[in-house]
Amino acid sequence: MSALVELRDVVKHFPVSRSLGEIVRGRHPAVRALDGVSLEIGASDAVAVVGESGCGKTTLGRLMLKLTEPSAGAITFDGTALGGLSGASLRAFRRQAQLVFQNPFDALNPRFTIYRAVAEPLLNAGIPRAEHADRVAQAFRRVHLPDLERYLDRYPHQLSGGQLQRVVLARALVLAPRFLVADEPVSMLDVSVRAGILALLREVRDDMGLTAVYISHDLALVRYLCERTVVMYLGTMVEDGPTAEIVRNPRHPYTRALVAAVPVPDADQARAPLPIAGNVPDAREPPSGCRFRDRCPHAFARCAEEAPALRETADGHRVACHLDN
């Protein structure tokens, strides 16, 4: 199967303000948000990107949508390099690749009616106005808000969180995109509503044959959405494989810690103690070699000297750990 989205050695550094000492010494400190990520996403695949705050997962999503430019490396969409897009080709890409925002309460302009919010992408894409009403109605049906007359003239504050998230999704789908990036699409919603949105995301993906990337801090949640999961730590990919394998049989020591830390809603399940201590190090000065080594219970000399490459350990399962060679 050919990849729809492909990243090759993608690096993204954000420069930070320099202290006097750093200016004198000619240093250019930067937050190393992503450091050498290579990833292929096949057409119609759904991939979860999980990790803690600051691991680079949101930056990765923004890069795939060309909302920010990589410091180095290349990203292609359907065989075309994103770096070379401009003018008409960029507009064509924007129609095909959409973002679903994290917080439905901030994602919509409070002064726009729901109709205008959902129709806006059509306006930006230059779709004739005569087609707007039909397209909006179709998008509303997709997200199961069928009685659309009830919503179109309303304003965001008149809707519940679950309804708003459906509207946000309708807006992302109104141009019938091929690729969707959703950044924590349900983290702001109540539990009883969240399950409905997850089911909807799955259904929409299957019906439209969408390629989707779900960014989340919650491993327990993405299990219901994606067959494949990428685990990130401090700007690097540490593990990539089938979600069921990652959850049941994590290979990388960081993934193991992450799985052990996820709480479960069952008081009878005894939870293993957390296998790691300490905090995520400063992304301006990550450890040499493996970035996880100073928290890793299994670290040895080689881990400080050499960054482990992602290597395939089983079919479709890749791990970046020296223990696994």
Partner 1 sequence: MMPRPLLAVEDLQIHYATRDGTVRAVDGATFAVPEGRIVGLVGESGCGKTTAVRAIMGVLAENGRRAGGRVCFRDRPIDAGSTRALLWREIAYVPQSAMSSLDPVYTVGAQIEEVLRKRGGASRAAAKARAAELFELVGLSDRRLVDYPHQFSGGMRQRAAIAMALALEPSLLLADEPVTALDVIVQRQILDMLRTLQQRLKLSMVMVTHDISVVAYLCDEVVVMYAGQVVESGPVREVLGRPRHPYTMGLRNAFPDLLSDAMALVPIHGGPPDLRETLTGCRFAPRCPFVQPACTAGALAADVTDDHLTTCRRSAEADTLRTAALDPGTWQRV
Min dist. Cβ of residue 321 to partner 1 (A): 18
The secondary structure element, H or E, covering residue 40 is strand 30-42
Specify the stretch interacting with partner 1 by CB under 8 A; choose among 1-9, 15-23, 143-151, 219-227. 219-227
Min dist. Cβ of residue 120 to partner 1 (A): 27
Residues in 35-94 at the binding interface with partner 1, rule: CB under 8 A:
52-53
Selection from 53, 165, 157 nearest residue 101 by Cα? 165
The residue within the footprint of partner 1, chosen from 2, 17, 86, 192 (CB under 8 A), is: 192
Residues in 233-262 at the binding interface with partner 1, rule: CB under 8 A:
247, 257-262
Number of helices (H), then strands (E), belonging to the chain: the values are 13, 12
Residues in 111-130 at the binding interface with partner 1, rule: CB under 8 A:
none
d(CA 75, CA 68): 11
Residues in 278-317 at the binding interface with partner 1, rule: CB under 8 A:
279-280
The residue within the footprint of partner 1, chosen from 107, 173, 212, 221 (CB under 8 A), is: 221
- Identify residue 93 by its one-letter amino acid code: F
The residue within the footprint of partner 1, chosen from 30, 193, 208, 323 (CB under 8 A), is: 193
Min dist. Cβ of residue 160 to partner 1 (A): 6
The token duo for 212 is 């989707």
The residue within the footprint of partner 1, chosen from 27, 271, 284, 311 (CB under 8 A), is: 271
Neighbours of 115 (CB within 10 A): 19
Between residues 8 and 144, which has the closer beta carbon with respect to partner 1?
A: 144
Selection from 308, 305, 307 nearest residue 320 by Cα? 308
How is 248-307 classified by DSSP, letter by letter? HS--SHHHHHHHHHS--S-TTSPPPPPS--S-PPPTTSPPSSSTTGGG-TT--HHHHHSP
The residue within the footprint of partner 1, chosen from 61, 104, 121, 162 (CB under 8 A), is: 162
The residue within the footprint of partner 1, chosen from 217, 242, 294, 317 (CB under 8 A), is: 217
Contact assessment for residue 215 and residue 181, using Cβ atoms and an 8 Å cutoff? yes
Binding site for partner 1 (CB under 8 A): 52-53, 160-162, 190-196, 198-199, 217-221, 223-224, 247, 257-269, 271, 274, 276-277, 279-280
